[in-house]
Amino acid sequence: MSTLTRVTAAKVPVTGAAIAAALLATLAVPGAAAALPQHAGQPAAHARTHIPFTEATVEQGDDGSYTVKWSAPGVRKVAVRANGRTVARGDGHDSVVVRGLPAADRQWFDIVPDHGGSLRLADRLIKLEGTVNFRDAGGYRTRDGHWVKMGEIYRSDSLEKLTEADLAKLERLGIRAVYDLRMKSERAQAPDKIPAGAEHIVADVLAGSDTFTAMPKTAAEAEQMMIDGEKFMVSGDTARTAYASVFSGIRDEDDRAVLFHCTAGKDRTGWSAAALLIALGVPRDTVMKDYLASNDYRRAANEAALAQLPPEQAKIYKPLLDVRPEYLNAGFTEVQDTYGSFSRYANKALGLDTRELRDLRKDLLLG
């Protein structure tokens, strides 16, 4: 087990992420209730062989069906397998809808081409009663044709509303380490609920940030607050310590499956996921799409929060609840300006030297 990192602060900063957290907490926006598909554990390991798929996704519908899409240039036939049997077939570029599968914690599909390596995928979103933005960090293709394993690393919004059923499901998912990226005030107001057998590790990203001291008065000020907060996540001392702790846990195979989360699961969590995917070789445009997906997963909760405010105030606070390309791009720019390259950032801030980065990719990539 990796050494625990506990970062605290003498005073609580008022940052964009913190204000968004406080806004959501004050308005007590409930999580979206949904039934969770079942999965008895992590997916089986795959051999190192070329995977011909350039795109592949699984999405669960509200009616319990699953849409499986893929693209595999040069492949003529693809079989889709679930629960040990073939449930659909297609060609090299196809989309199928699978119905009638039994309820599961998480439904996995093996997408098997007529030549080359197969993929094991599930819907990225983990539907729980107490969260709205709990999802798998894997299932993405790298620039050189590898795929990030699913069932290993998870990201989420706050966990204080997890139900007993949620916790039991997360225990079955094999969550063994929970990295809490929130500030001391957030943790005190909404203590984490974690599954049995998991360790709770504090990795307070914003503990050292005192850039902001007041609520924004305009939407432009709120946007700048979020941009400045993103920069701090890259170069702030406590941010570097916190994220180095997370990546230490990810590197430690005994700790996996690993979950990292903040309050909304979009800013501090968003940068952690973005840094991981970039380190694994996922293209930046794919990383951006993953980052922006929080707008979709959080839409209902955010709209409910803003609906409780006067229109002019809602306009000012909306940037705090959004994720926007300019926010994440500010982080990428800060990496370049402060470290010169992502590899130097990974080494100096995340504690990943060349060998450790190579081992991380070997451990978390397929193909």
262, 282, 287, 365: the catalytic one is: 262
Under 8 Å between Cβ of 260 and 181: yes
Residue of 26, 3, 18 whose CA lies nearest to 207 = 18
Beta 177-180 vs 258-261: how paired, if at all? parallel
Residues 38/104, Cβ–Cβ less than 8 Å: yes
| Tokens encoding 62 | 């509200």
Phi, psi of 9, rounded to the nearest 5 degrees: -135, 150
CA distance 170 to 137: 15
Long-range contacts of 333-340 (CB under 8 A, 24+ apart): 333/231, 334/230, 334/231, 334/234, 334/235, 335/234, 338/234, 338/235
**Contact at 8 Å (CB) between 81 and 108?**
no
Please state, in angstroms and rounded to a whole number, the distance separating the CA atoms of residues 263 and 22: 9
* Strand residue runs (E) in the chain: 55-60, 66-71, 78-82, 85-90, 93-98, 109-113, 119-121, 135-136, 147-148, 153-156, 177-180, 199-202, 258-261, 365-366
Parallel, antiparallel, or unpaired for β 119-121 and 93-98?
unpaired
Question: Which tokens belong to 2?
Answer: 């990796």
Specify whether the CB–CB gap between 227 and 326 falls below 8 A.
Answer: yes
The structure tokens 């996996």 sit at: 256
Helix (H, G, I), strand (E, B) or coil at 363: helix
Q: What is the Cα–Cα distance from 143 to 283, expressed in whole angstroms?
A: 6
Of 153, 164, 98, nearest to 126 by C-alpha is 153
Neighbours of 46 (CB within 10 A): 17
Does the active-site annotation cover 313?
no
**Catalytic residue ranges:** 262
